[in-house]
Structure 1
Amino acid sequence: MTRYVVIGAGAVGLALAARLHLAEIPVALVARGASLDVVARDGVRYTDPTGTRAVAVPVADRAGTRLAPDDVLVLTVKAQQADDALGEWAWQPVHDPADPHALAADLPVLVLQNGLATEAQALRRFATVLSASILVPAQSLEPGAVAVAAADPAAVLSIGLAPDGTDARVDALVADLQRAGIAAHSTDDVLPWKALKLLGNVNNAVELLGGSDEERKALSRELTAEARTVLEEAGLEPADGAERDEAVGRIRIQPTEGWEPGRASTFQSVARGASSVETDYLNGEIVLLGRLHEVPTPLNAALQRVVGASFARGEAPGTVTVADVRAVAAR
């Protein structure tokens, strides 16, 4: 029977591991530091619109995780951490009596990172890479605790093989996720779904800026328009989200203890005191494509620059402003 080895105990990792365990689907969570200690002692504290429960997800660190031939790796770390994590895991032994040379690189790996970079990083090492665009209103600001502001479904995933195609492994994953209360569908071309999510992700760092709500909303609209122009010029036409809504349903945000709007993944990283943020793989992805295809990206480049420098200086959210981004874009 397939076991899902969920690598990373942030919001996405905790939410997926808890939902799979609640559905009695074999799962193991890989965590470290305070998250490992808390989950090992108390379980995952999983809160959704129906309430809070402790979910006794099996957990270990990488050294304590014994891989088996039927495992599927699920990489949930942030985009800027993915390449290091893939390198650490690919050459770990798989305990297969039939193949003493088996390694984790022989196992399927599902990558759930924002942006467009992780699939190529994974394919350098793993023969079978499953790629997904995930929508999940999950927030984790304390070790071992996650609040998900939706219950039916808790998340929505579009899943396919990287670089393209689908197969029985994708179908099996979709079926397991659906059993776990997650709306999922397979696609033989996952890249447009990744591009669609990136249109929203380019606004993640806007939550870190000072300024009025109207100033942030206006900047977000312009960032998205600039990103769409670049994606289309690069031949990456974003998917139509209405098609997914019709096929598998959409997330309905509901009041949930511990969950607040305006706290996307970049905000959560800063609030937790993370050592890096994913802006280089979100706005930076648009900047990269713009440079490759000779399309100007002044706003995405300015946001990447301003937030990156502010984070390097150790500044609190709100220190740099929308006006700072516009000033840099106008240089």
Structure 2
Amino acid sequence: MVNILRDNPTIAVLGAGAVGCYFGGMLARAGNAVTLIARANHVAAINKNGLYLDCLSFKEHVRLNATTDVSEISGADLILCCVKSSDTEDAIRLIAPHIKKDAVILSLQNGVDNYERIRATISNPTFPSVVYVATRMAGDGHVEHVGRGELAIGAAGAPSDWADTLNTIAALFSASSVPCAVSPDVKRALWTKFLVNCAYNGISAIGAIDYGQMVETAEVKKLIDALTAEFLLIAKKEGVDISAEEAMEVNAQIPITMPRQKSSTAQDLMRSKQSEIDYLNGLIVRKGIEHNIPTPANQAIHALVKMLERKNFLTS
């Protein structure tokens, strides 16, 4: 398979919220042609003043194209899919008539099954990425970066002859000050990151609390341990073997590297938006039923976040 990403590829970010704006903005800052497909309020601000990257190491307005019109994705060689997990299939169907048949899709989404659902919806080459970044939208066209900022990408079941394309994507990000590595076992990397999502996101949302504050409560640390124990049983049934020691170390790093970050689930609830909890702890609950493994801790987190979502819906 030849590398279909030409020199100076054009890039589109589908669903440019905090994650999409950060990575799209970093690519544009390095001189790449980037179009953000985002909500109207962000588009208006970005087209007027540029995207404001409020980062740990710099603060800068970056000029790039922004639009609400999905048809402008037609020229993209690389599409970064950053929509919510619940919107994955609908978003891909929406852009399908407009994208080039050889455009590459890279999923920068929470959860572990989005790339599979994209592949089931469209024939374009699609790859997962593991996203390690703490960001939030601090205003219209204003993304705040508060921790980390690296990616791992991989084939995850795709033929090995896509290696050149993956290496090109990794080089593109790395040249844009975004560390990016091609993982030989990206499924395991996805599940390792997924562990953090399941252990931290829901609790952060329920308490409207950041990661650093969460672990100051002994009972919360015990709950994280219970969520993790259930998670590891499910992961093993799904063909991913993560040791308890490795899980403990991964979990321990989050409040150290992202102490000021509230989870994306917390940010969704604070804005009265639907969260991705069905694709986080909810997926663990469904897999538990499938594998006949009790998951009471994950079920409780899932139920409580769903309750808060419903409360937001009824009062909005």
Q: Which TM-score band applies after superposition, normalised by the shorter structure? A: 0.7 to 0.9
Aligned-pair CA distance for 1:23: 0.8
Listed one character per residue, the Cα deviations across residues 64-88 of structure 1 (whole Å, up to 9, x for unaligned) are: 51512x6111101121222221121
Partner residue, 2:301: 303
* Matched length: 290
Unaligned runs of 5+ in 2: 1-7, 208-213, 247-252
| Equivalent position SS for 1:314 | helix
2: CA distance, partners of 1:3 / 1:46: 20
2: CA distance, partners of 1:104 / 1:253: 42
1: CA distance, partners of 2:26 / 2:255: 17
CA contact (8 A) 1:155 1:251 kept: no
| Equivalent position SS for 1:224 | helix
Matched, 1:119 2:123: no
Distance verdict in 2 for CA 1:149–1:306, change over 3 Å: closer
Q: Which of 58, 75, 90 in structure 1 is aligned with 2:81?
A: 75
CA contact (8 A) 2:81 2:108 kept: yes
One-letter amino acid of the counterpart of residue 80, structure 2: V
Distance verdict in 2 for CA 1:240–1:302, change over 3 Å: closer
CA contact (8 A) 1:23 1:180 kept: yes
| Higher mean displacement: 71-80 or 170-179 | 71-80
Partner residue, 1:222: 226
Unaligned runs of 5+ in 1: 93-102, 243-249, 317-331
2: CA distance, partners of 1:39 / 1:3: 18
Aligned-pair CA distance for 1:31: 1.1
Partner residue, 2:285: 287
One-letter amino acid of the counterpart of residue 62, structure 1: D
2: CA distance, partners of 1:24 / 1:60: 19
Q: Which of 186, 191, 194 in structure 1 is aligned with 2:190?
A: 194
| Equivalent position SS for 2:139 | coil
1: CA distance, partners of 2:268 / 2:203: 14
* 1:1-331 to 2 correspondences below 5 Å: 1-63=8-70, 65-68=72-75, 71-92=77-98, 103-124=99-120, 125-150=122-147, 155-164=149-158, 165=160, 166-202=162-198, 203-210=200-207, 213-238=217-242, 261-274=260-273, 276-314=274-312
Question: How large is the Cα RMSD of the aligned pairs?
Answer: 2.8
**TM-score, L = length of structure 2:** 0.83
Distance verdict in 2 for CA 1:42–1:241, change over 3 Å: farther
1: CA distance, partners of 2:156 / 2:26: 25
Distance verdict in 2 for CA 1:226–1:66, change over 3 Å: closer
2: CA distance, partners of 1:292 / 1:251: 30
Distance verdict in 2 for CA 1:47–1:71, change over 3 Å: same
Aligned-pair CA distance for 1:241: 11
Distance verdict in 2 for CA 1:251–1:72, change over 3 Å: farther
Distance verdict in 2 for CA 1:18–1:262, change over 3 Å: closer
The structure richer in helix per residue is: 2
| Equivalent position SS for 2:172 | helix
Aligned-pair CA distance for 1:105: 5.0
1: CA distance, partners of 2:74 / 2:261: 38
| Higher mean displacement: 170-179 or 124-133 | 124-133
CA contact (8 A) 1:110 1:129 kept: yes
One-letter amino acid of the counterpart of residue 185, structure 1: A
Aligned-pair CA distance for 1:44: 1.2
How high is the sequence identity, in percent, across the aligned residues?
Answer: 25
1: CA distance, partners of 2:205 / 2:310: 14
Distance verdict in 2 for CA 1:240–1:290, change over 3 Å: closer
Aligned-pair CA distance for 1:56: 1.2
Aligned-pair CA distance for 1:32: 2.1
Distance verdict in 2 for CA 1:144–1:241, change over 3 Å: farther
Aligned-pair CA distance for 1:182: 1.1
**TM-score, L = length of structure 1:** 0.80
2: CA distance, partners of 1:17 / 1:251: 24
| Higher mean displacement: 229-238 or 31-40 | 229-238
1: CA distance, partners of 2:311 / 2:255: 38
